[in-house]
């Protein structure tokens, strides 16, 4: 598949999944998000982590706020990404209160206030990421900005990466280009699926 064909396929997949997500009611999103958070909390690498990078959910994404609150209650350091739109990078910033510590910036994204200090990515032991779509090989399709791909492909990538998605976001296959990064596991409302190294570690 050429790069142009991959981009066209990705665009088609984004349109397909966004159409599916529009069919979910607000009540269904809330119920399914809670179920996905329960699945995520059962993932051993997340349960062992003392510093986790999560995300402030957009309306179309799995709402991981219940997961964040559970981690905070356990004493886990939970970070939310601060986006540098010009550099195309994100930095992990510890938060303790999702209402007080976050503010809305470009594109409706919520991120930590500038008064809060970031930590190094090397301190993060697990990361929870959103996506537009996932496949059952760990493939992840983001919004197209490449922010998470740069983090996951960097020298300081956290140990293991968990995707959070609705079942409606699972597709048959995502074209993976050289810069695209896979997740190690996927939590949906119905199941927790491990791929590659994560599966091998569980089976040992």
Domains and CATH numbers, the chain: 3-203 (3.40.50.10420)
Tens of pLDDT along 142-195? Answer: 886 767 777 776 655 556 899 999 999 999 999 887 777 889 999 999 999 999
* Reported pTM: 0.90
Does the structure show a pLDDT above 70 at 80? yes
Tens of pLDDT along 125-149? Answer: 999 999 999 999 999 998 867 677 7
The gap from C-alpha 140 to its chain's centroid, in whole angstroms, comes to 9
Q: How deeply is 97 buried, as exposed, middle or buried, from its count of CB atoms within 10 A (0-12, 13-18, 19+)?
A: exposed
The average pLDDT across 33-60 equals: 94
Does the structure show a pLDDT above 70 at 114? yes
Does the structure show a pLDDT above 90 at 19? yes
- The three-state secondary structure class of 75 is coil
Kindly report the length of the chain: 204
**Other beta carbons within 10 Å of 115:** 7
pLDDT given for residue 203 in this prediction: 46
The average pLDDT across 102-123 equals: 90
Tens of pLDDT along 81-95? Answer: 998 888 878 899 999
The average pLDDT across 106-110 equals: 82
């Amino acid at each position: 598949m050429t790069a142009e064909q991959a981009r066209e396929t990705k665009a088609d997949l984004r349109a397909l999944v966004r159409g599916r997500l529009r069919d979910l009611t607000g009540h269904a999103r809330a119920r399914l998000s809670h179920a996905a958070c329960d699945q995520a909390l059962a993932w051993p690498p997340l349960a062992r982590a003392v510093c986790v990078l999560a995300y402030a959910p957009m309306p179309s994404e799995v709402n991981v706020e219940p997961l964040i609150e559970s981690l905070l209650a356990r004493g886990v350091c939970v970070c939310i990404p601060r986006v540098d739109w010009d550099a195309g990078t994100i930095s992990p910033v510890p938060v303790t209160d999702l209402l007080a510590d976050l503010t809305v910036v470009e594109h409706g994204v919520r991120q930590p206030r500038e008064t809060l200090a970031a930590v190094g990515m090397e301190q993060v032991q697990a990361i929870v990421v959103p996506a537009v779509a996932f496949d059952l090989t760990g493939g992840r399709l983001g919004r197209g900005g490449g922010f998470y791909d740069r983090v996951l492909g960097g020298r300081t990538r956290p140990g293991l990466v968990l995707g959070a998605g609705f079942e409606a976001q699972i597709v048959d296959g995502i074209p993976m280009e050289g810069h695209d990064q896979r997740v190690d596991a996927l939590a949906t409302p119905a199941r927790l699926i491990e791929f590659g190294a994560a599966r091998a570690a569980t089976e040992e």
